């Protein structure tokens, strides 16, 4: 094809917060699709905290992005050309398309989505991996029961905001932890949490004690660090701590801070469990159907924070780590 | 009664390792038993790492021992006088008798034991709380399956030695971590572990990698600290980390060291769960029956480390925290 594809490639393994020099912006012609492949014009790129982990050369649940490789990212776009019977030009798809303007991928590696039902950013958010992470992490790992107290960190973020809303739909008292007055107001007013704690200006341990007088039954953690410790200090008997992420630790140059209060697990006969959303692939249909139903009934707010300009990718990604996004951060290409 | 009872009472809340001045040795006449009570001549006192936690004024699974109170301890002894139909003088019992020579307690608060079947120290060890801790902690919380790899820290200690033996009986590959060459030899030669790692002279992370090439399926932790971190660095997918104790942290004057590698729970979809043996009270009969059966068949080694002299209690207790015991430490009164 004649079209030129711009791509962000990993130029160096970041130390701490990724720097501009950790990226290389390259251009190359879009290759012709092989049999079974499609060419997708990428329209929205999902920016996720997990991307920081993919940049580090360490054994994890998937291999790291290699130096010189196009940065891995979930994204959504429009099919430009297709060599597969199941996809037509003009249709929309989501998948691991990478941080680039055009992706040539196997048709079977992408998911067709109906943009008359929901926007492409929503398919990257509530109706995509983000939504599935909140749904299965909360319900399957956290197992909240009606009447219990659920605390969510990163509550103004993409996964946290959904996890708290789902907890509320299941009849739980929900308390969110977020950074700043504006985010805390959003969490209560727009997302319907019962209370919010501003970790930038409040004593999280004391506020958790105040808002959770009977202790925390489910703590859904997206942040790690001192906030995880504050939650551990306030567990109820038989509490479940769900380890979804630890964004406060991802740019540490030393080892992460371990939770000093982990012996609260013993005192409270509690558990701390990690999960990876990809393990729930066989049940995505179930999760999508329920999330779509709640959206249609107006019971769930899908909040996207759309940044524009492909070339802003390095700076926009870092907004996640600085806590500057509210809702799901996506980059409009 | 005319008899004089010597008692160790908590004189001060210890900072770090308990000092002699944290204890007061008192004497008082043994009171007459009230209706339903018995007088027990204490013969063996169980020394347990958990006792350090009971000395600290902090919310936990039971209230702390008050300053001036007789130190709480499990113990076994002989009934001297009884005001309850179910117990006769001369019979043996175990229960929370405290660090004292004579205990006046409700008959219903003690358990009658048959010393023709097993010794009193064994009733404090394999056939008592120690055995139940290993049994339910390993089988119910850890849920090992035949062919899996089970790692136990404090493997030459009372609970750890039993947990590893039970794992082996269930068809698991068992690796013990202990301090010193002698303990490691004991763990393999006497207790039948497949391998032992000497944390005092070996790199635990590297040795775990060597001895657990497919990762750790169940890690039964009695020690916390850097050994917990080494185990977390070597988990298999879906591993279960059982938090039984953290003896390396009990005498810290600052906050405990949290496990810096806790995000291994996420990468490996693993869980870390605490438990308290008392929660299994309704199932003690089941555990005792199985442990007694294994003992009778010669499949289980019950190792007691018997120290003598009531007045040595403060120094003998500290042997636990210095790692100087092999097997169950009991004090012969």
Q: What whole-number percentage of chain A has pLDDT above 70?
A: 100
Model ipTM? 0.94
Flag whether pLDDT at A209 surpasses 90.
yes
Whether the CA torsion A12, A53, A230, B140 is positive or negative: it is: negative
CA distances from B32 to B5, B27, B68, B99 (A): 12, 16, 21, 19
Number of H helices, E strands in chain B: 10, 15
Flag whether pLDDT at A147 surpasses 80.
yes
Average pLDDT over residues A291-320: 97
Closest CA to A240 of A147, A158, A150: A150
Find, in chain B, the residue whose alpha carbon is nearest to that of A252.
Answer: B260
CA distances from B206 to A96, B198, B212 (A): 36, 12, 10
Gap between the Cα atoms of A94 and A45, Å rounded: 10
Residue of A140, A219, A272, A278 to mutate when probing chain B, most B C-beta within 10 A? A272
Gap between the Cα atoms of B220 and B160, Å rounded: 8
Q: Are the CB atoms for A256 and A291 separated by under 8 Å?
A: no
Gap between the Cα atoms of B260 and B270, Å rounded: 15
Q: Answer yes or no: do A266 and B275 touch at CB < 8 A.
A: yes
Note which residues in 264-323 of chain B have CB less than 8 A from chain A: 264-276, 279
Residues of B in contact with A237 (CB under 8 A): none
Counted residue by residue, chain A has a size of 333
Assign A285 a pLDDT band (cuts: 50, 70, 90).
very high
Q: What is the pLDDT of residues B197-253, one digit of tens each?
A: 999 999 999 999 999 999 999 999 999 999 999 999 999 999 999 999 999 999 998
Which conformational region is residue A269 in: left (phi greater than 0), alpha (psi within -120 to 50 degrees), or beta?
A: left
The CATH 3.90.180.10 domain(s) of chain B lie at 4-125+303-332
Chain A contact for B257 (CB, 8 A cutoff): yes
Class of domain A4-124+303-332: alpha beta
Chain center to CA of B186: 18
Closest CA to B75 of B100, B49, B108, B104: B100
CA distances from B292 to B48, B126, B132, B297 (A): 21, 8, 11, 9
**The whole model's pTM is what?**
0.95
Assign B254 a pLDDT band (cuts: 50, 70, 90).
confident
Q: Are the CB atoms for B269 and A275 separated by under 8 Å?
A: yes
Chain B contact for A214 (CB, 8 A cutoff): no
Average pLDDT over residues B100-117: 96
Flag whether pLDDT at A26 surpasses 90.
yes
The CATH 3.40.50.720 domain(s) of chain A lie at 129-278
Flag whether pLDDT at B1 surpasses 70.
no
Q: Answer yes or no: do B260 and A256 touch at CB < 8 A.
A: yes
The CATH 3.90.180.10 domain(s) of chain A lie at 4-124+303-332
Q: Are the CB atoms for A38 and A84 separated by under 8 Å?
A: yes
E strand or H helix that includes residue B328: strand B328-332
Q: What whole-number percentage of chain B has pLDDT above 90?
A: 96
DSSP annotation string for B240-289: EEEE---GGGTT-SSPPPP-TTTTHHHHTT-EEEE--GGGGGGGHHHHHH
Q: What is the pLDDT of residues B74-86, one digit of tens each?
A: 999 999 999 999 9
In chain A, alpha helices (H): 50-54, 120-124, 129-136, 158-169, 181-189, 204-211, 225-232, 264-267, 284-296, 313-321
Q: Are the CB atoms for B331 and B120 separated by under 8 Å?
A: no
Flag whether pLDDT at A60 surpasses 90.
no
Q: Which of A229, A271, A275 sits opposite B273 (nearest CB)?
A: A271
Gap between the Cα atoms of A188 and A174, Å rounded: 10
Chain center to CA of A74: 10
What is the torsion angle, in degrees rounded to the nearest 10, for the CA atoms of residue B91, residue B95, residue B99 and residue B103? -50
Q: Which of A255, A263, A274 sits opposite B267 (nearest CB)?
A: A274
Across chain B, what does the average pLDDT equal? 96
Residues of B in contact with A270 (CB under 8 A): 273-274
Flag whether pLDDT at A254 surpasses 90.
no
CB-neighbour burial class of residue B98 (10 A; exposed 0-12, middle 13-18, buried 19+): buried
- Structure-token pair, residue B323: 């790692």
Q: What angle do CA A191, A195, A199 make, to 5 degrees?
A: 100
Class of domain B4-125+303-332: alpha beta
> Which range, of A55-59, A199-203, B300-304, averages the lowest pLDDT?
A55-59
Q: What is the 3-state secondary structure (H, E, C) of A104-170?
A: EEEHHHCEEECCCCCCHHHHHCCCCHHHHHHHHHHHHHHCCCCCCEEEEECCCEHHHHHHHHHHHHC
- Structure-token pair, residue A324: 């500057």
Whether the CA torsion B16, B22, B25, B26 is positive or negative: it is: negative
Centre a 10 Å sphere on the Cβ of residue A315 and count the other Cβ atoms it contains.
Answer: 12
Class of domain A129-278: alpha beta
Gap between the Cα atoms of B78 and B327, Å rounded: 24
């Amino acid at each position: 094809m004649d079209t030129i594809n711009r791509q962000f490639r990993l130029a160096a393994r970041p130390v701490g917060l990724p720097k501009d020099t950790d990226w290389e912006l390259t251009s190359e012609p879009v290759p012709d699709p092989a049999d079974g492949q499609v060419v997708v014009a990428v329209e929205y790129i999902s920016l996720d905290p997990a991307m920081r982990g993919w940049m580090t050369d360490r054994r994890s649940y998937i291999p790291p992005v290699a130096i010189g490789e196009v940065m891995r990212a979930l994204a959504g776009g429009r099919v430009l050309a297709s060599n597969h019977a199941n996809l037509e030009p003009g249709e929309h798809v989501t998948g691991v398309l990478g941080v680039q303007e055009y992706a040539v991928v196997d048709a079977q590696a992408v998911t067709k989505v109906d943009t008359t039902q929901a926007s492409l950013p929503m398919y990257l958010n509530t109706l995509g991996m983000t939504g599935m992470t909140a749904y299965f992490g909360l319900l399957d790992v956290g197992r909240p029961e009606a009447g219990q107290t659920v605390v969510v960190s990163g509550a103004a973020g993409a996964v946290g905001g959904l996890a708290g809303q789902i907890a509320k739909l299941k009849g739980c008292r929900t308390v969110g932890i977020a950074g700043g007055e504006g985010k805390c107001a959003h969490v209560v007013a727009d997302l319907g949490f019962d209370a919010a704690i501003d970790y930038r200006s409040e004593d999280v341990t004391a506020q958790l004690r105040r808002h959770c007088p009977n202790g925390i039954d489910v703590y859904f953690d997206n942040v790690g660090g001192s906030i995880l410790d504050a939650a551990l200090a306030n567990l109820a008997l038989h509490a479940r701590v769900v380890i979804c992420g630890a964004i406060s630790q991802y740019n540490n140059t030393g080892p992460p801070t371990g939770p000093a209060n982990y012996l609260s697990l013993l005192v409270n006969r509690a558990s701390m469990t990690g999960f990876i959303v990809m393990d729930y692939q066989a049940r995505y249909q179930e999760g999508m159907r329920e999330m779509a139903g709640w959206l249609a009934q107006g019971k769930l707010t899908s909040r996207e924070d759309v940044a524009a300009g492909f070339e802003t990718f390095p700076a926009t990604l870092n907004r996640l780590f600085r806590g500057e996004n509210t809702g799901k951060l996506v980059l409009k290409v």
